[in-house]
Amino acid sequence: MNMIKLVDLLKELNIDELELRAGGLEVEDNRTYYTFFEDFRIGGDDVEDFDESFDPNILKKNVISEDGIYQFIVPSTYTGTLYLVNSEGRTVKDYIIGTVDIDIINLSTREGKPFKITGAEIHLTYVTDPYRGKGFGYKMYTMLLEAYGSVFSDNILYEGSLAMWTKKLASLGNEPGNFFGVETGNIIIPLTTTDASDEAIVKDVGIDHFIVSIKPPQVLTDIKEKLSSMSLSGGDYGVFEPSMKTSIAQLTNIIDGAVSLDEIVEELDLYQVIGKRKDNEYSTIVVALTNAMVILRESDDEVTMDII
């Protein structure tokens, strides 16, 4: 399981306090500018003053996403790094706002996950000093969402990135028609804004990736609907996995003769991956099988199952 690892924010920027005092932030900005010229093959080694006049019309670029004067662009020889730019900027420092490194992934082809969801997995974002503190980090995410529909975190999150996901993106993902949640094992579950503000939930080692979508596929809409009245932080349900590979057919046979969730948990040797109840006294649990997710509910000495 590739659980999310939290790292100090300064390490995200590849700088520390001493480097900041010594002008390390300027060094990082200059490195971004030089890399930009290398990627777009316009002789960046000859550029000494990034405050000089710069004509963006010389760029051979593709526009991935656009929001007014702001554009996400890539060179024709795309390498995985997108540049957020101000199309009205006429110096390098005014033009280049920041960068983001992404991979386009399909969950159905990664690690045997059962859901066919394509989106952009974000590895690292960087905003240059002139634009820092002006909301451009969030703009990067929203513009990526417009371009790709769904966005995933990778499995290393910094404190600043975690705050972006659990505050701003959680609110966006919980708007009507959108989705916000996490991958855990082979399944995806929704998180409410209350869940996202609960550190015991969002820092749980069982979480692999965060996901936000403004164009969720039907499977995410179904998952959100099935668990719409419940929250992890409220202890309404827990997420479990079997100790050994288990098929839906095997689970169905066990459910047919079961009158309680406790019986199923014991029979399949289920263990809790995410949840607030240490006693496991749930009336609803989500089980991550090898190729599906199921929701089990106990009511009136009967266990019912929904397959997602």
Residue range 184-210: mean pLDDT, rounded: 91
Whether 232 is in a domain gets the answer no
Whether 200 is in a domain gets the answer yes
The vertex-301 CA angle with 295 and 307, nearest 5°, equals 15
How far CA 30 is from CA of 20, 44, 54, 294, in Å, comes to: 14, 11, 15, 51
Residues 267 and 138 in one domain: no
| Pairwise pLDDT comparison (156 vs 233), residue with the higher score | 233
pLDDT score of 110: 66
Q: For residue 283, is pLDDT > 80?
A: yes
Count CB atoms within 10 A of the CB of residue 106. 12
Residues 45 and 163 in one domain: yes
Q: For residue 290, is pLDDT > 50?
A: yes
How far CA 55 is from CA of 43, 59, 297, in Å, comes to: 14, 8, 62
Residue range 186-213: mean pLDDT, rounded: 92
Torsion angle (degrees, nearest 10) of CA 285, 173, 103, 97: -150
Residues 263 and 122 in one domain: no
Choose from 46-55, 171-180, 222-231, 262-271 the range with maximum mean pLDDT.
171-180
Q: On the CB side of 274, how many CA atoms lie within 13 Å of its CA?
A: 33
Whether 278 is in a domain gets the answer yes
Does the predicted model carry a pTM greater than 0.85? Answer: yes
Whether 91 is in a domain gets the answer yes
**C-alpha dihedral sign at 108, 114, 115, 121:** negative
Residue range 225-243: mean pLDDT, rounded: 93
Whether 108 is in a domain gets the answer yes
CA 275 to chain centroid: 20
Whether 231 is in a domain gets the answer no
Whether 299 is in a domain gets the answer yes
Residues 249 and 196 in one domain: no
Residues 170 and 280 in one domain: no
User: Which of the listed residues 199, 226, 253 is the one where a domain comes to its end?
Assistant: 226
Residues 210 and 260 in one domain: no
- Can you tell me which residue has the tokens 């719409």? 228
Domain residue limits at 13: 5-226
Return the amino acid letter for 8.
D
User: Which of the listed residues 204, 226, 248 is the one where a domain comes to its end?
Assistant: 226
* pLDDT single digits (tens) 242-282: 988 888 888 888 888 788 999 999 988 999 999 998 887 89
* pLDDT single digits (tens) 45-63: 445 578 888 889 889 999 9
Question: Model confidence at 289, in pLDDT bands (50, 70, 90)?
Answer: confident
Residues 203 and 258 in one domain: no
Residues 67 and 113 in one domain: yes
Residues 71 and 216 in one domain: yes
Residues 44 and 184 in one domain: yes
User: Which of the listed residues 196, 226, 256 is the one where a domain comes to its end?
Assistant: 226
Give dist(CA 117, CA 110) in Å, integer. 10
How many structural domains compose the chain? Answer: 2
DSSP 8-state class, residue 165: I
Q: What percent helix, strand, coil does the chain show, rounded to 5?
A: 35, 30, 35
Percent of the chain with pLDDT over 90: 58
Residues 244 and 127 in one domain: no
Residues 68 and 163 in one domain: yes
Whether 135 is in a domain gets the answer yes
* pLDDT single digits (tens) 114-168: 678 899 999 989 999 999 999 999 999 999 999 999 999 988 777 788 899 999 9
